[in-house]
Chain A
Amino acid sequence: MKPMLKPALAPYVLISPFLLLFLVFGLFPIVFSFVLMFHMWDPVQGLASMEYVGLENITFAIEDPLVWTSLGNTLWMALASGMPQHLVAIPLAYLINEKMGRWRNAAMGAYFLPYITSTVAIAIMFSTLFSTDYGMVNAALAEMAKWPLLTAVLPAENIDWLGSPEAIKPVVSAVVFWRYLGFNVILYVAAMQSIPRDLYEAARMDGAKSWQQFFFITLPQLKPIMFFGVTLTVIGGLQLFEEPFILTGGKGGPEYAGMTTAMYMYRTAFDFNDFGLASAISWMLFVIILLMTVITNKAFKSKEGQA
């Protein structure tokens, strides 16, 4: 039977669905935003209103105090949410992998659940939990404050979690941590399962205790996956958008304390109708993410070199 497609043509036809989708939804937006960076454009005035302004958007963005505030916030929250993700996920994964036996999958599923939960549900849940006067977090704190030793430590008044500039960043970081911990746990459990068992057996025969096995076998063997996980966290953390957006009602919170760069970029485009500036901010963010990723790469490489 004659093939419907000529063999020479077949690969191109078969790859075309992906290629088309990539061109339309991947490459085009990137190129368009690059072009936009050098233009002043108010979208409601139509495409014809695009006006070439050279580097003006970029200089405006660099001199915009809000860009720097938002970058500061982003770094703060990326660090505060990202570090604990790995510091907790690794021991937790070890625990799940070594000690949970047949409950392992159930435990992994439970930790992974927040990752696949709808953002809207998360928004409703956390804004209820962190409600100042009627939230469970403050109710629990108030109850704990009655205990003799904790009275001095805990605040006497309800904490305005979502409304005070001091509290909003920790709250957002906590939610991000909660949401992505499970993803990292799965990553590490999978990596741990690929570590050859005979390494542990040999160690045990040499009299290594459980914690020694963790520190001297598991941790070093996890390094490649740690690099992968940390890189994802760095990128994700710097692109932080959803969680602060929903927890601050899309505005960035009091004194902009919860506004990330990605949020500011979105607001510049869709709330302030300044797509040129928004594109400039997005490319700035891209450069910073690139730099941070390179630094992460270097950090892991040099350690590997030492080892």
Chain B
Amino acid sequence: MLCALSWNSVLAQKTTITVAAFPAVDEIVKASLQEWQKKNPNVEVKVVGREYADHHTAMTTALATATGLPDVMTIEYGYLGRFAQSGGLEDLDKSPYKLSQYATKMVPYAMAQGRSASHGQVAIPTDIGPGAMFYRNDVLAKAKVKESDLTQSWDSFIESGLKIKQATGAHLVAHARDVKDIVIRTGIPEGEGVYFDAQGKSVIETSPRFKRAFEVAQKIRVQGLDGKINAWSNEWGEALKRGTVTVQMMGAWLGGHLQNWLAPNTSGLWRSTALPERIATSWGGTFYAIPKKAVNKDLAWSLVQHLTLNSRQQQMAFEKFNAFPALIEAQNGDFFNQPVSFLGGQKARLEWKQTASQIKPTMVFKNDSVAEEIVNAELDLVLNKNKPIDQALKDAHRLVQRRASR
């Protein structure tokens, strides 16, 4: 019997589950392990961290060949549309997971993003990116522009940009495309995606969102209000450091990046506010999924629950890694009420929380990334070559539809 016991413990010790993740989710998982392993002392967790694009390529290959699949797969929002429709991920609403019983605990739009029409709840959100407008308070003060001028309407936003340019020479935004990206996400009817309707047909030509987005972006370019700078480029980093770009609209997580490495020298100069016209939209977000071919699904689910439904873990991830909690309960901690010194003592987290609660769910589609690409190229033509907007949208629609109907 002793022999059997020791054999059992050897077997138990050997259980290893794998989590595949990209930065900084891999760090978050590692930091959360200690507590989970107290309850699961015989389980070893192997965290395989890869760079963002490499991770998703590796997961694509793993799903394609059904080999090398992790027990827990991390998926970024940008890849969710493609992965959700793969059919290779567990429907977490079904037994034994029964995620639906916890559904109300999570931010609704993020839960909806993890759902696929044909395969159910294939992913559970862990962090979200409520959209925010970060602006240089010092530049606004110099140009005598108020925060409300930026948020009131796109017209007043552009007017403020002109004032800022006159008074300080700084650009309003990094790239006119950034503005387009927000306007096309304004007022998406329920059940539709950004580019496609519920039937998967392109709405680029017919939806007024796109026409308006292109018009606002064009106005910004014509008035010389954008720096023609792509996000995450060297120029962008320098512009944020030097204050030559006044406003940056992005997920609330940008605050952490600004503070930690993008522009640490600008502490106290930035503020965060709602997007123009107080649009509530989101930038990215991270999800966990369990592949159907995973070996240790029970343990994987236990770990995923620990990472997503445990308030303490969610708060830890926010405090240490700027991962905004998808768990509503975790948005009530003390940390949310604390002033953010980098943002001049603003209680910005409360505002982000409010934005998160207002975001409407949008559907994700397999061809979203192609559509985004095509729309961006047509916008380039409008901005650089004065291509008529109607023609650009018509061409974009035709190209997207061509892909989507395959």
A contact set with B: CB distance below 8 Å: 40, 42-47, 49, 56, 60, 64-66, 127-128, 131-134, 160, 162-165, 249-251, 254-256, 270-274
Contact = CB atoms under 8 A, between A and B. Distances in A.
B64 A47 contact: yes
A160 B233 contact: no
Interface of B: 53, 57, 60-61, 63-66, 82-83, 85-88, 228-230, 232-235, 238-239, 244, 366-367, 369-370, 373, 377, 380-381, 384-385, 399, 402-403, 406
Contacts of B366: 42, 273
Contacts of A128: 234
Contacts of B385: 255
Given A44-B88, A249-B232, A249-B233, 6 more contacts: A44-B63, A46-B63, A46-B66, A65-B399, A272-B367, A272-B403
A127 B367 CA distance: 30
Contacts of B369: 271-272
B87 A45 contact: yes
A45 B86 contact: yes
Contacts of A56: 406
A262 B279 CA distance: 39
A43 B60 contact: yes
B230 A44 contact: no
A219 B282 CA distance: 63
A134 B230 contact: no
A84 B235 CA distance: 30
13 contacts: A40-B406, A44-B60, A44-B64, A44-B83, A45-B87, A46-B66, A49-B87, A66-B399, A133-B235, A251-B373, A255-B385, A270-B57, A274-B406
Contacts, number: 89
B380 A254 contact: yes
Contacts of B57: 270
B399 A43 contact: no
Nearest to A127: B234
Contacts of B232: 249
Given A43-B64, A270-B57, A271-B369, A134 B234 contact: yes
B16 to A, nearest CB: 24
A66 B310 CA distance: 47
B233 A127 contact: yes
Contacts of A272: 367, 369-370, 373, 403
A56 B405 CA distance: 12
A131 B234 contact: yes
Nearest to A276: B406
B382 to A, nearest CB: 10
Contacts of B87: 45-46, 49
B384 A43 contact: no
B82 A131 contact: no
Contacts of A162: 233
A46 B88 contact: yes
B228 to A, nearest CB: 5
Contacts of B228: 132, 160, 163
B380 A132 contact: no
B380 A45 contact: no
Given A46-B63, A256-B377, A272-B369, A134 B238 contact: yes
B384 A44 contact: no
B377 A270 contact: no
A133 B238 contact: yes
